[in-house]
Amino acid sequence: MSSFDKKSVTAESALVAIQGAVAKAKQLGHRMSVVVCDEDGAEKLAYRMDGASSSTLRIARDKAFTSTSHGLATHALWDFIKNDPPLQYGFPSCPNIVVYGGGYPLLEDGQIIGANGVSGGHYSDDMEVARAGLSAIGAPVG
């Protein structure tokens, strides 16, 4: 029998990432939801700002799940599928898959340890807020 070691984002790091993202969302004047998931795509920590719609929380979860399960930022998935019609129409119809910006993998030593997802603004604002969360914990911003 063989095994392997897995790393995972800590609850403390998830909290700091969410705090960094929320600070940026407030700076931009948005009411957003931020979710950090672990390396398996399971929710580690979630935060819905006062006034953010409940749908933002679901979308943020889906962005985090998509990013960790595929190891790419959600906007990078669009670049991967946009010129391939079967993927372009089929992949986004899969449950919990998002192909627009706002989800980023959390990497440590090149290994996925989780992901963050943000929703509540235009996807470009979601991306900026998500990157602020990554920066708050010193994670690479890709």
Q: Please give, one letter per residue, the 3-state secondary structure of 25-72.
A: HHHHCCCCEEEEEECCCCEEEEEECCCCCHHHHHHHHHHHHHHHHHCC
Q: How far does Cα 101 stand from its chain's mean position?
A: 9
Residue 142 has pLDDT above 80, yes or no: no
Residue whose structure tokens are 């906007």: 75
Question: What average pLDDT does this structure show over 99-106?
Answer: 96
Cα separations (Å) of 126 from 6, 48, 56?
Answer: 28, 14, 11
Residue 28 has pLDDT above 70, yes or no: yes
Note the pLDDT of residue 89.
86
pTM over 0.85? The answer is yes
